[in-house]
Structure 1
Amino acid sequence: MNEATAHLLFDVVERLEKNIVARECPALVAMEGQRRLFLSDYDYLRDRAAATAFETRAADKVLEIDATRWVMAVPQVWLFTPPSTIAVRAVSNHPLREGEQEAITWMNFDRDDGVDYGRVAYARRPSGEPVFEEPEIFDVGIRPKSEMPGFLLLKRCLPEE
Protein backbone atom coordinates (compact mmCIF):
# COMPACT_ATOMS: atom_id res chain seq x y z
CA MET A 1 0.00 0.00 0.00
CA ASN A 2 1.46 3.35 -0.99
CA GLU A 3 1.72 6.32 1.37
CA ALA A 4 -1.25 8.25 -0.07
CA THR A 5 -3.57 5.24 0.26
CA ALA A 6 -2.29 4.52 3.78
CA HIS A 7 -2.99 8.14 4.74
CA LEU A 8 -6.53 7.84 3.40
CA LEU A 9 -7.03 4.55 5.26
CA PHE A 10 -5.89 6.04 8.57
CA ASP A 11 -8.18 9.03 8.02
CA VAL A 12 -11.20 6.77 7.45
CA VAL A 13 -10.35 4.52 10.39
CA GLU A 14 -9.95 7.52 12.71
CA ARG A 15 -13.31 8.94 11.65
CA LEU A 16 -15.03 5.59 12.12
CA GLU A 17 -13.41 5.09 15.53
CA LYS A 18 -14.84 8.45 16.64
CA ASN A 19 -18.27 7.34 15.44
CA ILE A 20 -18.00 4.04 17.30
CA VAL A 21 -17.02 5.86 20.52
CA ALA A 22 -20.18 7.94 20.02
CA ARG A 23 -22.12 4.64 19.63
CA GLU A 24 -22.79 5.25 15.94
CA CYS A 25 -21.94 2.66 13.31
CA PRO A 26 -22.03 4.08 9.80
CA ALA A 27 -20.30 2.68 6.76
CA LEU A 28 -17.74 5.17 5.49
CA VAL A 29 -16.14 5.62 2.08
CA ALA A 30 -13.39 8.12 1.33
CA MET A 31 -12.19 8.72 -2.19
CA GLU A 32 -9.55 10.88 -3.84
CA GLY A 33 -9.64 11.98 -7.44
CA GLN A 34 -10.42 15.40 -8.85
CA ARG A 35 -11.31 16.17 -5.22
CA ARG A 36 -11.52 14.35 -1.89
CA LEU A 37 -14.96 13.10 -0.95
CA PHE A 38 -16.37 11.26 2.08
CA LEU A 39 -19.69 9.41 2.10
CA SER A 40 -21.40 7.74 5.05
CA ASP A 41 -24.47 5.59 5.47
CA TYR A 42 -26.14 4.56 8.72
CA ASP A 43 -28.44 1.99 7.09
CA TYR A 44 -25.64 -0.02 5.46
CA LEU A 45 -25.71 -2.81 8.05
CA ARG A 46 -29.51 -3.03 8.09
CA ASP A 47 -29.82 -5.35 5.10
CA ARG A 48 -28.31 -6.31 1.77
CA ALA A 49 -30.50 -3.87 -0.17
CA ALA A 50 -29.26 -0.90 1.88
CA ALA A 51 -25.64 -2.04 1.48
CA THR A 52 -26.07 -2.44 -2.27
CA ALA A 53 -27.67 0.99 -2.61
CA PHE A 54 -24.83 2.67 -0.70
CA GLU A 55 -22.06 0.92 -2.62
CA THR A 56 -23.80 1.78 -5.90
CA ARG A 57 -23.98 5.47 -4.90
CA ALA A 58 -20.33 5.36 -3.83
CA ALA A 59 -19.29 3.76 -7.14
CA ASP A 60 -21.13 6.48 -9.05
CA LYS A 61 -19.18 9.12 -7.09
CA VAL A 62 -15.86 7.28 -7.61
CA LEU A 63 -16.48 7.43 -11.36
CA GLU A 64 -17.78 11.01 -11.22
CA ILE A 65 -14.66 12.41 -9.53
CA ASP A 66 -12.33 10.02 -11.39
CA ALA A 67 -11.02 8.66 -8.10
CA THR A 68 -7.58 7.09 -8.19
CA ARG A 69 -7.99 5.57 -4.73
CA TRP A 70 -10.73 4.87 -2.20
CA VAL A 71 -11.20 3.24 1.17
CA MET A 72 -14.40 1.71 2.54
CA ALA A 73 -14.77 0.78 6.21
CA VAL A 74 -17.66 -0.78 8.13
CA PRO A 75 -17.98 -1.81 11.80
CA GLN A 76 -18.93 -5.48 12.09
CA VAL A 77 -18.82 -8.42 14.47
CA TRP A 78 -16.49 -11.20 13.35
CA LEU A 79 -17.03 -14.85 14.24
CA PHE A 80 -14.08 -17.18 13.79
CA THR A 81 -15.07 -20.77 13.04
CA PRO A 82 -12.71 -23.72 12.49
CA PRO A 83 -10.85 -24.50 10.39
CA SER A 84 -10.35 -21.08 8.78
CA THR A 85 -13.72 -19.49 8.12
CA ILE A 86 -14.76 -16.03 9.18
CA ALA A 87 -18.40 -15.03 9.33
CA VAL A 88 -19.54 -11.48 10.02
CA ARG A 89 -22.72 -9.87 11.25
CA ALA A 90 -23.92 -6.37 11.96
CA VAL A 91 -22.91 -4.75 15.21
CA SER A 92 -25.63 -4.43 17.83
CA ASN A 93 -26.14 -3.51 21.46
CA HIS A 94 -26.29 -7.19 22.41
CA PRO A 95 -23.30 -8.79 24.15
CA LEU A 96 -20.80 -10.65 22.03
CA ARG A 97 -21.14 -14.41 21.88
CA GLU A 98 -18.27 -16.84 22.30
CA GLY A 99 -15.78 -16.58 19.44
CA GLU A 100 -16.97 -13.12 18.35
CA GLN A 101 -14.94 -9.94 18.11
CA GLU A 102 -15.87 -6.42 17.05
CA ALA A 103 -13.79 -4.99 14.23
CA ILE A 104 -13.78 -2.36 11.55
CA THR A 105 -13.67 -4.25 8.24
CA TRP A 106 -12.01 -2.29 5.46
CA MET A 107 -11.09 -2.52 1.80
CA ASN A 108 -9.00 -0.09 -0.17
CA PHE A 109 -8.39 0.32 -3.86
CA ASP A 110 -5.58 2.20 -5.58
CA ARG A 111 -5.24 2.29 -9.36
CA ASP A 112 -1.50 1.74 -9.14
CA ASP A 113 -1.31 -0.65 -6.17
CA GLY A 114 -4.50 -2.69 -6.46
CA VAL A 115 -6.66 -3.88 -3.57
CA ASP A 116 -5.94 -4.51 0.11
CA TYR A 117 -8.25 -5.92 2.76
CA GLY A 118 -7.95 -5.67 6.50
CA ARG A 119 -9.50 -4.89 9.82
CA VAL A 120 -9.10 -2.90 12.98
CA ALA A 121 -10.06 -5.14 15.89
CA TYR A 122 -11.36 -3.59 19.08
CA ALA A 123 -12.48 -4.66 22.51
CA ARG A 124 -14.58 -2.86 25.06
CA ARG A 125 -13.70 -1.91 28.60
CA PRO A 126 -16.30 -2.78 31.27
CA SER A 127 -17.62 0.78 30.84
CA GLY A 128 -18.34 0.02 27.17
CA GLU A 129 -15.57 2.30 25.89
CA PRO A 130 -13.88 0.74 22.83
CA VAL A 131 -10.11 0.24 22.70
CA PHE A 132 -8.84 -0.02 19.12
CA GLU A 133 -5.88 -1.94 17.77
CA GLU A 134 -3.80 -0.74 14.83
CA PRO A 135 -5.12 -1.44 11.32
CA GLU A 136 -4.17 -4.92 10.14
CA ILE A 137 -3.60 -5.73 6.47
CA PHE A 138 -4.33 -9.30 5.46
CA ASP A 139 -1.17 -10.72 3.97
CA VAL A 140 -2.59 -14.17 3.35
CA GLY A 141 -4.68 -15.16 0.39
CA ILE A 142 -8.34 -14.40 1.02
CA ARG A 143 -11.39 -14.87 -1.12
CA PRO A 144 -13.93 -12.22 -0.24
CA LYS A 145 -17.53 -13.06 -0.88
CA SER A 146 -19.93 -10.67 -2.53
CA GLU A 147 -21.14 -9.64 0.94
CA MET A 148 -17.72 -8.21 1.85
CA PRO A 149 -17.94 -4.45 2.39
CA GLY A 150 -16.60 -2.81 -0.75
CA PHE A 151 -16.98 -5.86 -3.01
CA LEU A 152 -19.74 -4.34 -5.14
CA LEU A 153 -18.01 -0.96 -5.12
CA LEU A 154 -14.82 -2.59 -6.41
CA LYS A 155 -16.65 -4.59 -9.04
CA ARG A 156 -18.44 -1.50 -10.35
CA CYS A 157 -15.23 0.56 -10.47
CA LEU A 158 -13.05 -1.93 -12.33
CA PRO A 159 -13.01 -1.78 -16.11
CA GLU A 160 -14.87 -4.62 -17.74
CA GLU A 161 -12.64 -7.14 -19.44
Structure 2
Amino acid sequence: MPHSRGVPSEQQKLTTSLFLGGARSGKSRLAQAAAEAFDGPLIYVATAEAGDAEMAARIAHHRADRGDRWTTVECRIDLADAIAAYEQPVLVDCLTLWLSNLMLGGHDVAGHTQRLIDTVRERAAPLFLVSNEVGLGLVPETPLGRAFRDEQGRLNQSIAAVVDHVTFVAAGLPLRLK
Protein backbone atom coordinates (compact mmCIF):
# COMPACT_ATOMS: atom_id res chain seq x y z
CA MET A 1 0.00 0.00 0.00
CA PRO A 2 1.19 3.54 -0.63
CA HIS A 3 2.30 5.65 2.29
CA SER A 4 -0.65 7.09 4.17
CA ARG A 5 0.80 10.62 4.20
CA GLY A 6 -2.15 12.35 2.61
CA VAL A 7 -3.70 11.22 -0.62
CA PRO A 8 -1.43 8.97 -2.72
CA SER A 9 -0.18 10.54 -5.91
CA GLU A 10 -1.57 9.34 -9.22
CA GLN A 11 1.65 7.40 -9.82
CA GLN A 12 1.31 5.58 -6.48
CA LYS A 13 -2.19 4.39 -7.42
CA LEU A 14 -0.91 2.76 -10.60
CA THR A 15 0.33 -0.79 -10.52
CA THR A 16 2.80 -0.91 -13.40
CA SER A 17 5.24 1.77 -14.55
CA LEU A 18 7.95 2.00 -17.21
CA PHE A 19 10.80 4.51 -16.88
CA LEU A 20 12.61 5.19 -20.17
CA GLY A 21 15.65 7.33 -20.87
CA GLY A 22 19.25 7.43 -21.92
CA ALA A 23 22.33 6.50 -19.93
CA ARG A 24 22.62 8.51 -16.71
CA SER A 25 19.30 10.24 -17.39
CA GLY A 26 18.00 9.64 -13.85
CA LYS A 27 15.44 6.97 -14.78
CA SER A 28 16.65 4.44 -12.19
CA ARG A 29 16.64 7.04 -9.42
CA LEU A 30 13.07 8.06 -10.25
CA ALA A 31 11.91 4.44 -10.48
CA GLN A 32 13.49 3.69 -7.10
CA ALA A 33 11.78 6.72 -5.53
CA ALA A 34 8.42 5.62 -6.97
CA ALA A 35 8.84 2.13 -5.52
CA GLU A 36 9.94 3.51 -2.15
CA ALA A 37 6.66 5.41 -1.89
CA PHE A 38 5.10 2.07 -0.95
CA ASP A 39 5.31 0.67 2.57
CA GLY A 40 7.00 -2.59 3.42
CA PRO A 41 9.74 -4.67 1.84
CA LEU A 42 10.77 -4.08 -1.75
CA ILE A 43 12.34 -6.36 -4.37
CA TYR A 44 15.07 -5.15 -6.71
CA VAL A 45 15.53 -7.43 -9.72
CA ALA A 46 19.00 -6.81 -11.13
CA THR A 47 19.71 -7.93 -14.68
CA ALA A 48 23.35 -6.74 -14.74
CA GLU A 49 26.33 -8.97 -14.25
CA ALA A 50 29.65 -7.78 -12.82
CA GLY A 51 31.83 -8.73 -15.76
CA ASP A 52 34.65 -6.37 -14.80
CA ALA A 53 35.84 -4.18 -11.93
CA GLU A 54 34.09 -1.05 -13.19
CA MET A 55 30.73 -2.84 -13.43
CA ALA A 56 31.25 -4.43 -10.01
CA ALA A 57 31.81 -0.94 -8.57
CA ARG A 58 28.62 0.34 -10.22
CA ILE A 59 26.62 -2.55 -8.79
CA ALA A 60 28.10 -2.01 -5.31
CA HIS A 61 27.25 1.70 -5.48
CA HIS A 62 23.64 0.97 -6.46
CA ARG A 63 23.26 -1.61 -3.67
CA ALA A 64 24.62 0.84 -1.11
CA ASP A 65 22.18 3.49 -2.36
CA ARG A 66 19.20 1.26 -1.60
CA GLY A 67 18.16 0.93 2.01
CA ASP A 68 17.56 -2.17 4.06
CA ARG A 69 13.97 -2.42 2.80
CA TRP A 70 15.34 -3.80 -0.45
CA THR A 71 16.09 -7.41 -1.28
CA THR A 72 18.19 -7.84 -4.41
CA VAL A 73 17.39 -10.71 -6.75
CA GLU A 74 19.79 -11.32 -9.62
CA CYS A 75 18.13 -12.40 -12.83
CA ARG A 76 19.86 -12.54 -16.19
CA ILE A 77 17.32 -14.51 -18.27
CA ASP A 78 14.06 -15.69 -16.64
CA LEU A 79 12.68 -12.25 -15.83
CA ALA A 80 9.00 -13.22 -15.98
CA ASP A 81 9.56 -15.89 -13.32
CA ALA A 82 11.51 -13.49 -11.09
CA ILE A 83 8.72 -10.89 -11.22
CA ALA A 84 5.94 -13.42 -10.67
CA ALA A 85 7.69 -14.86 -7.59
CA TYR A 86 6.96 -11.77 -5.43
CA GLU A 87 3.80 -10.08 -4.24
CA GLN A 88 5.50 -6.97 -2.89
CA PRO A 89 6.56 -4.06 -5.12
CA VAL A 90 9.24 -5.04 -7.64
CA LEU A 91 11.73 -2.80 -9.44
CA VAL A 92 13.45 -4.28 -12.50
CA ASP A 93 16.66 -2.53 -13.55
CA CYS A 94 16.98 -2.89 -16.44
CA LEU A 95 15.22 -4.32 -19.47
CA THR A 96 18.07 -3.22 -21.73
CA LEU A 97 20.64 -5.43 -20.01
CA TRP A 98 18.09 -8.26 -19.88
CA LEU A 99 17.58 -8.02 -23.65
CA SER A 100 21.34 -7.97 -24.15
CA ASN A 101 21.64 -11.12 -22.01
CA LEU A 102 19.01 -12.83 -24.15
CA MET A 103 20.50 -11.84 -27.48
CA LEU A 104 24.11 -12.58 -26.61
CA GLY A 105 23.11 -15.91 -25.05
CA GLY A 106 21.19 -17.01 -28.14
CA HIS A 107 17.88 -17.22 -26.26
CA ASP A 108 14.40 -16.97 -27.76
CA VAL A 109 13.86 -13.20 -27.51
CA ALA A 110 10.28 -13.29 -28.78
CA GLY A 111 9.29 -16.07 -26.37
CA HIS A 112 10.88 -14.43 -23.33
CA THR A 113 9.39 -11.07 -24.30
CA GLN A 114 5.90 -12.55 -24.61
CA ARG A 115 6.23 -14.23 -21.20
CA LEU A 116 7.30 -10.88 -19.73
CA ILE A 117 4.36 -9.06 -21.33
CA ASP A 118 1.94 -11.69 -20.01
CA THR A 119 3.44 -11.38 -16.51
CA VAL A 120 3.19 -7.58 -16.57
CA ARG A 121 -0.45 -7.79 -17.68
CA GLU A 122 -1.32 -10.24 -14.88
CA ARG A 123 0.59 -8.50 -12.11
CA ALA A 124 -1.57 -7.09 -9.31
CA ALA A 125 1.25 -5.67 -7.16
CA PRO A 126 3.30 -2.59 -8.06
CA LEU A 127 5.93 -3.13 -10.73
CA PHE A 128 8.53 -0.60 -11.87
CA LEU A 129 10.49 -1.32 -15.03
CA VAL A 130 13.56 0.62 -16.19
CA SER A 131 14.70 0.58 -19.82
CA ASN A 132 16.98 2.56 -22.09
CA GLU A 133 15.69 4.44 -25.09
CA VAL A 134 18.45 3.56 -27.54
CA GLY A 135 16.86 4.73 -30.79
CA LEU A 136 17.57 8.44 -30.45
CA GLY A 137 21.19 8.38 -31.60
CA LEU A 138 23.17 7.33 -34.62
CA VAL A 139 22.46 4.14 -36.51
CA PRO A 140 24.76 1.45 -35.04
CA GLU A 141 27.66 0.45 -37.27
CA THR A 142 27.37 -3.32 -36.85
CA PRO A 143 24.55 -5.73 -37.75
CA LEU A 144 24.37 -6.88 -34.09
CA GLY A 145 24.12 -3.27 -32.93
CA ARG A 146 21.32 -2.55 -35.39
CA ALA A 147 19.49 -5.75 -34.42
CA PHE A 148 19.79 -4.84 -30.75
CA ARG A 149 18.52 -1.30 -31.33
CA ASP A 150 15.53 -2.67 -33.25
CA GLU A 151 14.73 -5.33 -30.64
CA GLN A 152 15.03 -2.75 -27.84
CA GLY A 153 12.62 -0.44 -29.64
CA ARG A 154 10.12 -3.28 -30.10
CA LEU A 155 10.50 -4.35 -26.45
CA ASN A 156 9.95 -0.81 -25.17
CA GLN A 157 6.85 -0.40 -27.35
CA SER A 158 5.42 -3.74 -26.21
CA ILE A 159 5.97 -2.99 -22.54
CA ALA A 160 4.69 0.59 -22.86
CA ALA A 161 1.46 -0.76 -24.36
CA VAL A 162 0.68 -2.92 -21.31
CA VAL A 163 1.82 -0.80 -18.35
CA ASP A 164 -0.31 1.82 -16.61
CA HIS A 165 2.27 4.58 -16.64
CA VAL A 166 5.24 5.52 -18.85
CA THR A 167 7.76 8.22 -17.93
CA PHE A 168 10.54 9.44 -20.21
CA VAL A 169 13.51 10.86 -18.29
CA ALA A 170 16.10 13.28 -19.65
CA ALA A 171 18.58 15.26 -17.53
CA GLY A 172 16.86 13.95 -14.40
CA LEU A 173 13.54 15.48 -15.46
CA PRO A 174 10.50 13.25 -15.92
CA LEU A 175 8.11 13.66 -18.82
CA ARG A 176 4.90 11.70 -18.49
CA LEU A 177 4.06 9.88 -21.71
CA LYS A 178 1.22 7.72 -20.46
Q: What interval of TM-score do these two structures reach, taking the shorter chain for normalisation?
A: 0.3 to 0.5
Which structure has the highest helix share of the two?
A: 2
Which structure has the highest strand share of the two?
A: 1
Say which structure, 1 or 2, has more relative contact order (CA 8 Å, 6+ apart): 2
